[in-house]
């Protein structure tokens, strides 16, 4: 049951909202106190003149004085015209003109209506007799129209007209409700059909339901505006069908139609500018498309540009595209509606001040990103070290660089920090020998140095990843208090697995020294032990010995 009455509840709410909107937008006015703004020809005339209005039609303007203000005088003439019109049902009026000391007096059916004075003639810049004749004609037509609009035939015709407008409005409401229901049913289906690829590309981060909700909201908002306009004009036309409410109907039509016409006139006046904006947009898109074709050809190798590297293609295209768009904006700004207004200029200054004050770090990161991209010190896939972070470069953006650490962590480093820090690149080859991997051990003075060097070189030769040519070599780095610090150095071309190679080197050093009964010194100690601190036997031999004992048992 609730589902069946839902459209009617919606209609009730819309009608209530529209009624409130119309009441709030309609000025409180009557025939006797017109609120229509006038365009004066002089400041003095604006103060001392007022219109005579009957049934919403302005007949003429009258000038006032300090003794009889213009609004009061106009109200007296209006009341006289209405009283004479209501006093008879005759379809004709007898208009008479009499000259007096004050001016020309106008009578209708023997009753004085107004006196046209010299001041009135000066106000309209006309001869007194001509102006009085025109006032008499306007009064005659107003009385005849007033009587004609209040006959039984006119009221029946007005009622028929109001019923016809009501039927048309009812059909209009039915169409609005039908469109509202159709939008609810079809929006999601259409969005899912046309935006299926968007969900696939964004891994459903952009849900079709969310897009459908936005589209539905926009369409319903447009329907609501159309409904308000339809109700506004329906109410105006219904009020216009009856003489007593025609004045308010004309006010409603004036207060809505004039802004709408003004908007349409503004749109029509901007059509040449819109054509120019469309032309600038088309040329810009055409140039960007041509640049895309060119850079695709450079990336494919169809064009050779000297030392221009392939990983520069995408950032160079993006920079060129931004430059083209900025140039297009410079040409398009003069054609944008309101671009020459003080508000637009103030907004431009405000945006510029905000960017200059709050975007220092952003600009520095962007410039640093350009240097990182084009200076060739770091490329995607390189293993680098920045401070304590070691990882592979997976992406270089305009603002930041992403590293994947050796622990498979994603590290985001601002490009400004990348520019201002020491960067160690393990992947770039400076010569054919490769990187020099090294580690240091401390051995007591009692061990022959030749023996220690031979053991370290043996450990390096056992390590997979260290090159045999050039051969590993040993350096004496320090003569410490209790030991000589030997540094084993070996070349490797596998910069991406240096932690693994160094770990294997340490393992092999321990193994070789244990095999030769040589103790690796600790950083500090109190005295030499009676026997060297080395394992009695290797772990594999220990496991074999235990297995043999268990077998004997």
Instruction: Report the CATH number at residue 417.
Output: 2.30.30.60
CATH number for position 529: 3.30.70.100
Contact 244, 261 (CB under 8 A): no
Q: pLDDT, tens digit, for every residue of 273-300?
A: 888 989 999 999 999 998 888 888 877 7
In a domain, 540, yes or no: yes
Sign of CA dihedral 257, 259, 264, 265: positive
Q: What is the pLDDT at residue 532?
A: 63
At 421, list the tokens.
Answer: 């820090």
In a domain, 230, yes or no: yes
CA nearest to 461, candidates 397, 398, 511: 511
**Residue 59 CB coordination number (10 Å):** 22
Distance of alpha carbon 142 from the chain centroid:
56
Percentage of the chain beyond pLDDT 70 is: 74
- Same domain flag for 346 and 285: yes
In a domain, 37, yes or no: no
Q: What is the pLDDT at residue 463?
A: 93
- Same domain flag for 77 and 179: no
Q: What is the pLDDT at residue 523?
A: 52
**What H or E segment, with its residue span, contains residue 383?**
strand 383-386
- Same domain flag for 159 and 264: yes
Please name the residue that has the structure tokens 């106190």. 33
Q: pLDDT, tens digit, for every residue of 92-105?
A: 888 888 888 888 88
Contact 94, 110 (CB under 8 A): yes
Q: Which residues pair with 79 in a beta bridge?
A: none
Q: pLDDT, tens digit, for every residue of 447-472?
A: 889 999 999 999 999 999 898 888 99
Q: What is the DSSP letter of 520?
A: B
Query: 484 phi and psi, to 5 degrees?
Result: -100, 130
Q: What is the pLDDT at residue 33?
A: 41
pLDDT average, residue stretch 242-262: 76
Q: What is the pLDDT at residue 543?
A: 42
In a domain, 7, yes or no: no
pLDDT average, residue stretch 20-42: 43
Residue 525 has pLDDT above 60, yes or no: no
Q: What is the pLDDT at residue 457?
A: 93
Q: What is the pLDDT at residue 503?
A: 92
In a domain, 2, yes or no: no
Q: pLDDT, tens digit, for every residue of 196-221?
A: 555 555 555 456 677 777 788 888 88
Q: What is the pLDDT at residue 472?
A: 92
Q: Which residues pair with 487 in a beta bridge?
A: 440, 475
- Same domain flag for 327 and 408: no
Residues near 166 by beta carbon (within 8 Å), at least 6 away in sequence: 234, 238
**Confidence band for 317, pLDDT divided at 50, 70 and 90:** confident
In a domain, 115, yes or no: yes
Among 37-46, 273-282, 332-341, the range of highest mean pLDDT:
273-282
Residue 116 has pLDDT above 50, yes or no: yes
- As a whole number of angstroms, the distance between CA 11 and CA 172 comes to 12
**Confidence band for 379, pLDDT divided at 50, 70 and 90:** confident
- Same domain flag for 223 and 303: no
Q: pLDDT, tens digit, for every residue of 475-490?
A: 999 998 888 999 999 9
Pick the residue with more confidence: 477 or 302? 477
What's the pTM?
0.44
Distance of alpha carbon 126 from the chain centroid:
59
- As a whole number of angstroms, the distance between CA 513 and CA 437 comes to 20
At 509, list the tokens.
Answer: 């050093």
At 107, list the tokens.
Answer: 């009578």
- Cα→Cα distances 549→164, 460, 477, 552, 553, Å: 113, 36, 47, 5, 6
- Same domain flag for 494 and 443: yes
- As a whole number of angstroms, the distance between CA 10 and CA 177 comes to 9
Name the domain count of the chain: 5
Q: Which domain holds residue 280?
A: 273-358
- Same domain flag for 214 and 144: no
Report angle CA 404, 410, 416 to the nearest 5 degrees: 90
- Tell me the pLDDT of the chain averaged across its residues: 77
CA nearest to 117, candidates 67, 79, 81, 82: 67
pLDDT average, residue stretch 264-271: 79
Residue 506 has pLDDT above 70, yes or no: yes
Q: What is the pLDDT at residue 21?
A: 47
- Same domain flag for 449 and 353: no
**What H or E segment, with its residue span, contains residue 477?**
strand 473-479
Contact 87, 109 (CB under 8 A): yes
Contact 398, 382 (CB under 8 A): no
Domain end: 204, 239, 269, which one? 269
CA nearest to 319, candidates 399, 415, 398: 398
Q: Is 263 exposed, middle or buried (0-12, 13-18, 19+ CB in 10 A)?
A: exposed
In a domain, 101, yes or no: yes
Domain end: 148, 164, 197, which one? 148
Report angle CA 159, 163, 164 to the nearest 5 degrees: 115
**Confidence band for 358, pLDDT divided at 50, 70 and 90:** low
In a domain, 518, yes or no: yes
Q: What is the pLDDT at residue 545?
A: 45
- Same domain flag for 261 and 278: no
Residue 68 has pLDDT above 80, yes or no: yes
Among 74-78, 148-152, 293-297, 399-403, the range of highest mean pLDDT:
74-78
Please name the residue that has the structure tokens 């329907």. 223
At 198, list the tokens.
Answer: 């968007």
Contact 25, 6 (CB under 8 A): no
Q: What is the pLDDT at residue 537?
A: 58
Residue 179 has pLDDT above 50, yes or no: yes
Q: What is the pLDDT at residue 393?
A: 85
Pick the residue with more confidence: 388 or 112? 112
Q: Is 5 exposed, middle or buried (0-12, 13-18, 19+ CB in 10 A)?
A: exposed
- Same domain flag for 536 and 449: yes
Domain end: 403, 425, 447, which one? 425
Q: pLDDT, tens digit, for every residue of 406-435?
A: 788 888 888 777 777 777 777 766 666 778
b (16+ CB within 10 A) / e for 340-377: eeeeeeeeeeeeeeeeeeeeeeeebbeebbeebbeeee
CA nearest to 138, candidates 67, 71, 52, 72: 52
Q: What is the pLDDT at residue 22?
A: 46
- Same domain flag for 178 and 195: yes
Q: pLDDT, tens digit, for every residue of 537-549?
A: 555 544 444 444 4
Residue 9 has pLDDT above 50, yes or no: no
Pairing of strands 410-414, 400-405: antiparallel
């Amino acid at each position: 049951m609730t589902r069946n009455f839902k459209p009617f509840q919606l209609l009730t709410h819309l009608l209530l909202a529209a009624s409130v909107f119309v009441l709030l937008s309609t000025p409180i006015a009557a025939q006797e106190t017109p609120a229509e703004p006038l365009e004066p020809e002089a400041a003095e005339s604006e103060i001392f003149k007022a219109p005579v209005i009957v049934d919403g039609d302005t007949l003429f303007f009258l000038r006032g004085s300090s003794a009889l203000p213009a609004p009061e005088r106009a109200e007296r003439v209006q009341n006289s015209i209405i009283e004479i019109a209501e006093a008879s049902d005759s379809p004709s009026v007898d208009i008479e003109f009499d000259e007096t000391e004050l001016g020309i007096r106008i009578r209708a059916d023997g009753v004085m209506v107004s006196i046209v004075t010299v001041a009135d003639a000066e106000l309209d810049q006309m001869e007194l007799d001509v102006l009085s004749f025109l006032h008499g004609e306007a009064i005659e037509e107003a009385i005849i129209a007033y009587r004609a609009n209040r006959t039984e035939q006119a009221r029946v015709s007005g009622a028929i007209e109001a019923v016809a407008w009501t039927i048309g409005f009812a059909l209009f409401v039915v169409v609005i409700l039908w469109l509202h229901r159709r939008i609810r049913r079809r929006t999601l289906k259409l969005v899912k059909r046309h935006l299926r690829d968007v969900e696939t590309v964004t891994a459903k981060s952009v849900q079709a339901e969310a897009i459908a909700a936005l589209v539905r909201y926009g369409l319903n908002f447009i329907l609501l505006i159309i409904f308000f306009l339809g109700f506004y004009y329906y109410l105006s036309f219904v009020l216009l069908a009856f003489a007593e409410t025609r004045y308010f109907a004309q006010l409603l039509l004036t207060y809505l139609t004039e802004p709408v016409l003004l908007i349409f006139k503004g749109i029509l006046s901007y059509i040449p500018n819109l054509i120019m904006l469309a032309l600038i947009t088309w040329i810009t898109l055409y140039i960007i498309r041509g640049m895309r074709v060119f850079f695709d050809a450079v990336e494919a190798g169809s064009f050779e540009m000297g030392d221009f590297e392939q990983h520069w293609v995408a950032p160079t295209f993006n920079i060129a595209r931004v430059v083209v768009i900025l140039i297009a904006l410079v040409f398009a700004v003069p054609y944008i509606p309101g671009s020459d207004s003080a508000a637009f200029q103030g907004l431009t200054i405000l945006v510029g001040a905000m960017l200059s004050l709050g975007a220092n770090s952003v600009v520095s990161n962007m410039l640093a990103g350009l240097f990182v991209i084009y200076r060739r010190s770091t490329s995607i896939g390189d293993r680098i070290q920045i401070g304590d972070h070691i990882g592979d470069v997976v992406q270089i953006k305009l603002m930041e660089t992403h590293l994947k650490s050796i622990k498979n962590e994603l590290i985001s480093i601002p490009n400004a920090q990348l520019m201002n820090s020491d960067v160690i690149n393990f992947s770039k080859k400076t010569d054919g020998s490769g990187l020099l991997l090294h580690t240091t051990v401390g051995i007591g003075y009692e061990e022959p140095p030749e023996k220690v060097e031979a053991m370290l070189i043996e450990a390096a030769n056992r390590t997979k990843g260290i090159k045999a040519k050039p051969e590993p070599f040993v350096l004496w780095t320090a003569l410490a208090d209790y030991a000589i610090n030997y540094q084993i150095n070996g070349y490797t071309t596998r910069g991406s697995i240096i932690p693994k190679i160094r770990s294997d080197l340490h393992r092999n050093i321990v193994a070789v020294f244990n095999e030769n009964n040589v103790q690796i010194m600790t950083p500090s100690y109190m005295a030499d032990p009676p026997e060297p601190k080395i394992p009695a036997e290797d772990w594999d031999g220990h496991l074999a010995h235990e297995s043999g004992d268990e077998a004997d048992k």
